[in-house]
Chain A
Amino acid sequence: MKNIVFFFLVLVLAIQPAAAQVKEEFEPEDMTTFMIQVPHGVEGSGLAVGGSNLSAYVFFESYYYGNMNVTMELDLPESFILQDTPVHSFSLQTEYEDWYRFVDFYVPVDLPPGIYNITATAVVEVEGNEHTIVRRTRLKVASKEEIADEIEVSGLIIPSDEDGYGDPSHPSNSLVIRETSPALKKLLKVTDLRIDREELTSTFIGVELTNKGDSTVPVIITYEILDIKTREPVKAFKPAIMGMNADTLCYATLTLTPGSSSLVSIPLYISEGAMRGEYLLRVKVKLTGSDWAAVTKDQKITAISRKWGPIIITLVSSLLGLTAVSFFFSRSKEIMDKFKTRNLVLIALFGTVSFAAINLPMTILWELSHALFGPFSFLFTGLFYEILLYMLIASLVVLIPKPGVVSLFMMVRFLLGGFITGSFTPITFITLSLSAVLLEVMMYAAGITGKNPDPENRFMMGVVCGIADMTSGYASFSVWMVLYRLFYSDWYIMANILIDGFLYTFIGAWFGISLGNRLKKVAE
């Protein structure tokens, strides 16, 4: 019995495919897919402009279980210049096997505008029988003016997200070109970085395009960021990425159907060398295959630079100054009681001398030297502001080596300056308070002031004053940059803090000890 069942099973399996083959008849439209797109990507009528290099896309797929030989012929208008053979023959062996080709052709520049028919004919030979399938499409060759009227850049969104949509939490038409430190970024979540390379910042530009015509238009969208005055491209906005030119990455392609609007995003990379300011964003829309920009849209954009270093320094300096003043106000009685009346008088008189010998002449000389000598004026003003001032400070510390003496001296200078020349400015407050705090702390730590003071160590005094002045000088530049929105070159800041901040201060403090010793003899 078992043998009989097995025999019938084998028979059924052997007979079934043969029976199926016999039953299936070839139906060209049902058993194939034959498709033509001119240009590639466009379903329906395409649009081109004279002078375009285009590709026609021809696709053939079989759903027939068996051999077929196909001869495909592409029939283009005579005026088109074909750059490939129009006839292609191929065989498809099995079901779902396919074949495709890009057939390149050129649309001459002087071709009259009009609608041109393109026909693709496939002759399919199955088991000795030939079947013909024909596909037709149309390509509209339009004049440049006509195309320019049909395509419109209806919106430019910068910065945008990866999909091209704007984010209201970011100011429109702006770029952030310098981010904060990685630690701060993580802490504040203030970044919109989308790539890992630290020297590059990226964002996206959203471009909304509208096709007002009745043809499907394949386009390529590119952009340039130009100097608003010279209209020259700014290289910092097209940096090389992984050894490639940014142009190879910074573009988008889009196929616009008739009467539709679409939004695309294009990546924008910004290198560290980019400067803040006003720029011109120029978006170009080109028809696929043509280098001619059908539409160009310009938009003014602002590049914002976040210099977190100076901001943080300003903030810390202000807080330090305010804390020091609050501390003084809250414990003023205890602090002032540590000084004898003659100490207070002496500090006040030193404050007066510093004002008379430095502040008063420098009210005019400082501005005058800046106006005359420009960036090199610090070589002159430093003689007063650093050498003379630190001579006074060092000699005062030699006479009264107590913590708090420098702070009181600075306070008298600040208030006197405010009373006499109206210089109650935030900069003066921040720099003087920071300078006082640094000098107090460093002098105490170095043993210049305190319980067993040694104020006559010239080298120590020079180094302490030099370092304190360099630090407060650097903070002062940060405050100028942040609060007064001024620019300073790095070399200028460096030269200033090294020459004025350290060298002049060191010299002043060194000679201040001699002066203090002479005055000590007078006091004795």
Chain B
Amino acid sequence: MIGARSIAEPTIKDTIVHRTDPRAKILILISTAFVAVTLDNPETMLLLFLTILSGFALARMPAIKLKTLAFLLILLIWGTIYSQALFYSQLPRTVIFTIIQPDFPVLGWLTNGGLFVYEEGLHHGAIQGLRSASILSLGLLICWTTDSRDMLNGLVGLRVPYSVAFMLVTAVRFLPIIITEVATVITVQRLRGFNPKRFGSGIIKTSLNILTPTLSNCVRRTGTLAVSIQSRAFRANPSRTYLKKLKFSELDKVMVTACIFAAISIVIIKLLYNMYTSGIYYTSGLRPVYAIARGYL
């Protein structure tokens, strides 16, 4: 069974992926997100996805993480396939299954003429699912190969205000405690006869019964924690020193430069191509650029 622990906790090893500077990882993730939403060519999208997956092999991820990844990817891609099979709205489209008949009372009218599963939508969903799959995979790879403290240092290194980074540290540190508390409260509620899975007003009632004690503990903890932090001179000085200094290696610099350059180039090429197809801007000198966008991106 895939638990919260297998999703949340990083696996620390000494591989090239683990050694990469957290700032470099964040910048690579942002660049990849731009590339993923820009691409339209299925082959290039698949290539990007496979390239990201190869990172898991480089990072020598344990089997449980790979199973978690596979499980999440299957759900994600299937969810996209399913939704697109239903909502696909371009031609040609072939109905392979009818969920709601157009003349079905109320629902037929509500769905504006029935609900069908389209064959071409399945294909479209599979291709478009690669986009989300690429971003999710890279996000998980980074999370699973980076210690949360290093990640926070990376964020501060990227000029995220210290107070925000501090809030994040607090949130990350208290996450296991709060997960345990939520689980304990649910167990107690069950023992008292509540059913947390009951649909409708039951779930609201259960939520209130779970949230009230959990959040009450948080409120109580807040006072103690605030005093403790302030006594350690939190926000007393405008600048801070850090025990661990982050340093970009040469490889990090090359990777970050290559990724940012590739992302900017791809975004600009696609932007120019979309301006051309929309009739907004065209110049004959950019024909090779249009050809690259049409053929490969």
User: Which residues of A are at the interface with B, using a C-beta cutoff of 8 A?
Assistant: 168-171, 174, 176, 188, 190-192, 227-230, 234, 275-279, 303-306, 329, 332-333, 336-337, 340-342, 344-353, 355-357, 360, 363-364, 367-368, 370-371, 374-375, 380, 383, 387-388, 391-392, 395, 399, 408, 411-412, 415-416, 418-426, 483-492, 495, 507, 511, 514-515, 518-519, 522-523
Decide if A515 touches B208 in the complex (CB within 8 Å).
yes
How far apart are the CA atoms of A419 and B238 in the complex, in Å? 26
B contact residues vs A (CB 8 Å cutoff): 2, 4, 7-8, 26, 29-30, 33-34, 37, 40, 71-72, 75-76, 78-80, 82-84, 86-94, 99, 110-112, 115, 121, 124, 128, 131-132, 135-143, 148, 151, 155, 159, 161, 163-164, 166-168, 170-172, 174-175, 178-179, 182, 199, 203-204, 207-208, 210-212, 214-216, 218-223, 225-226, 229-230, 234-235, 238, 276-280, 282, 284, 294
By a CB distance below 8 angstroms, the chain B residues around A421 are 7-8, 139-140, 143
Q: Which of B75, B139, B215, B226 is close to A425, meaning CB atoms less than 8 Å apart?
A: B139
Q: Are B112 and A490 in contact (CB under 8 A)?
A: yes
Residues of A contacting B76 with CB < 8 Å?
367
B83 touches A486 (CB 8 A): yes
7 closest residue pairs by CB, A with B: A422-B139, A367-B75, A277-B90, A169-B282, A342-B226, A370-B79, A277-B91
- Cβ distance B291 to chain A, nearest Cβ, rounded Å: 11
Q: Which residue of B lies closest to A489 (CB)?
A: B87
A345–B226 contact, CB under 8 A?
yes
Q: Are B229 and A345 in contact (CB under 8 A)?
A: yes
CA of A485 to CA of B277 in the docked complex: distance in angstroms?
A: 16
Do B171 and A349 touch across chains, with their CB atoms under 8 A apart?
A: yes
Given the contacts A340-B226, A387-B207, A278 and B92 also touching, CB distance less than 8 Å: yes
Q: Which residues on B sit within 8 Å (CB–CB) of A360? A: 4, 7-8, 179
Q: How far is the CA of A275 from the CA of B239 in the complex (A)?
A: 58
Judging by beta carbons under 8 Å apart, are B207 and A345 in contact? Answer: no
Residue in contact with A329 in the complex, picked from B136, B161, B294, CB distance below 8 Å: B161
Q: How far is the CA of A351 from the CA of B179 in the complex (A)?
A: 12
Residues of A near B174 (CB, < 8 A) are: 348-349, 352
> In the bound complex, how far is the Cα of B115 from the Cα of A363, in angstroms?
27
Instruction: Using CB atoms, name the residue of chain A closest to B214.
Output: A353
Residue contact A488 to B87, C-beta cutoff 8 Å: yes
A375 touches B86 (CB 8 A): yes
Contact B72 A392 (CB under 8 A): no
| B112 closest partner in A (C-beta) | A491
Return chain A residues, CB-CB under 8 Å to B88.
487
- The answer to whether A348 touches B212 (Cβ under 8 A) is no
Q: Which of A169, A416, A422, A426 contacts B141 (CB 8 A)?
A: A422
B276 contacts across to A, CB distance below 8 A: 169, 171
**In angstroms, how far is the closest chain B Cβ from the Cβ of A495?**
8
Q: Is the CB of B143 within 8 A of A356?
A: no
Please give the distance in Å from A228's CB to the nearest CB on chain B.
Answer: 5
Known: A168-B282, A276-B91, A489-B86. 8 other contacts (CB 8 A): A190-B280, A277-B90, A341-B235, A349-B171, A351-B167, A375-B87, A426-B37, A523-B219
